[in-house]
């Protein structure tokens, strides 16, 4: 059995008086696809923001690939092999697909403009890491044929793939995807599920994703975590989640 890649222990975040995430613990093993589901406001994005380093936890610990990354900056976490995509498709609509991937991926490394101009070693390292992979990433995400097209003019399904491509271009071991299939039609959604499986099966990338499309979650994830009002109420396989009385009651509202 593969080792633990990500371990989250007692993770909490309060905003003023509101506990957005409460005492969340779970593990993700190398090569696993894990889904995080729950109603709006459950704390899914907040959990993602803490794991990827853009939000400091109020309490708890995050260990990735053996290193305690709690409270580390996103640019540190990304160098360590953990990348994320954002809920909104953050693309530069007037630039080409290829430029979007370069620029978007470089953003993850948070290199100041002066360092880019001075071509510091940190900038050259980041550039090498990104450049190395862009062709492969275009191929994997099915965007190779569109590389010179203007991003904002692509079909929505392809625009959503740019977000994934940007995350992949940082060369991650674990990719966090926040609602990657939002707004996709069922056919695009099924295609997206195949992309996720390819990433894991052929490119050895572990995945943690938040998604509302239940068919996609149930058909893709080995493990599903259910959050309601900041708390984990269930965890298990698709089958276990479907049959969990706590989930049926609290989440599905049946
Ligand atoms: P989800 O992604 O599951 O829809 P979020 O993590 O975005 O949920 O939000 C969880 C709760 O935390 C919500 O009640 C939301 O209003 C609140 N929240 C999220 N971010 C902030 C913030 N920066 N400041 C204050 N409250 C926030
Ligand atoms: Mg969210």
Q: Of ligand 1's atoms, which has the minimum distance to the CA of residue 42? A: 3
Tokens describing residue 107: 């953003």
89: pLDDT strictly greater than 80: no
**DSSP H or E segment with residue 25:** strand 18-29
For residue 86, pLDDT over 80 is answered with no
Best substitution site from 16, 17, 41 to test ligand 1's pocket, by max atoms within 8 Å of Cβ?
A: 41
pTM: 0.92
pLDDT in tens, 111-151: 777 887 888 888 888 888 887 788 999 999 999 999 999 99
Kindly report, residue by residue over 70-82, the tens digit of the pLDDT.
999 999 999 999 9
Contacts of 40 (CB under 8 A, 6+ apart): none
pLDDT on residue 253: 60
Nearest CA owner, ligand 1 atom 17: 20
Q: Which CATH superfamily is domain 1-76+206-254 in?
A: P-loop containing nucleotide triphosphate hydrolases (3.40.50.300)
Residue 74 and residue 223: Cα distance in Å, rounded? Answer: 25
Q: Which atom of ligand 1 is nearest to the CA of 39?
A: 3
What pLDDT does residue 1 have? 57
Residue 44 Cβ contacting ligand 1 at under 6 Å: yes
Residue 43 Cα to ligand 1 midpoint, Å, equals: 6
Inter-axis angle of helices 97-108 and 121-140, nearest 10: 130
pLDDT, one tens digit per residue, over 224-252 is 999 999 999 999 999 999 999 988 887 65
On average, the pLDDT of the chain sits at: 91
């Amino acid at each position: 059995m593969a080792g633990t890649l990500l371990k989250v222990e007692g993770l909490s975040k309060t905003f003023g008086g509101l506990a957005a995430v409460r005492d969340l613990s779970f593990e993700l093993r190398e090569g696993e696809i894990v889904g995080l589901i729950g109603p709006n406001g459950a704390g899914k994005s907040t959990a993602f923001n803490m794991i990827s380093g853009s939000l400091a936890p109020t309490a708890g610990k995050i260990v990735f690939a053996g290193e305690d990354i709690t409270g580390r900056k996103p640019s540190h976490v990304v160098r360590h092999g953990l990348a994320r995509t954002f809920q909104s498709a953050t693309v530069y609509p007037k630039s080409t697909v290829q430029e979007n991937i370069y620029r978007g991926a470089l953003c993850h490394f948070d290199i100041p403009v002066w360092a880019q101009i001075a071509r510091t070693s940190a900038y050259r390292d980041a550039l090498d890491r990104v450049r190395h992979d862009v062709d492969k990433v275009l191929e994997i995400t099915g965007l190779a044929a569109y590389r010179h097209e203007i991003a904002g003019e692509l079909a929505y399904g392809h625009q959503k793939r740019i977000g994934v491509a940007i995350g992949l271009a940082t060369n991650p071991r674990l990719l966090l995807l926040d609602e990657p299939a939002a707004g996709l039609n069922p056919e695009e959604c099924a295609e997206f599920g195949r992309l996720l499986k390819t990433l894991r099966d052929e490119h050895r990338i572990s995945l943690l994703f938040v998604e509302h499309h239940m068919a996609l979650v149930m058909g893709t994830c080995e493990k599903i975590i259910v959050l309601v009002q900041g708390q984990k109420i269930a965890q298990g396989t698709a089958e276990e989640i479907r049959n969990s009385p706590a989930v049926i009651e609290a989440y599905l509202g049946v």
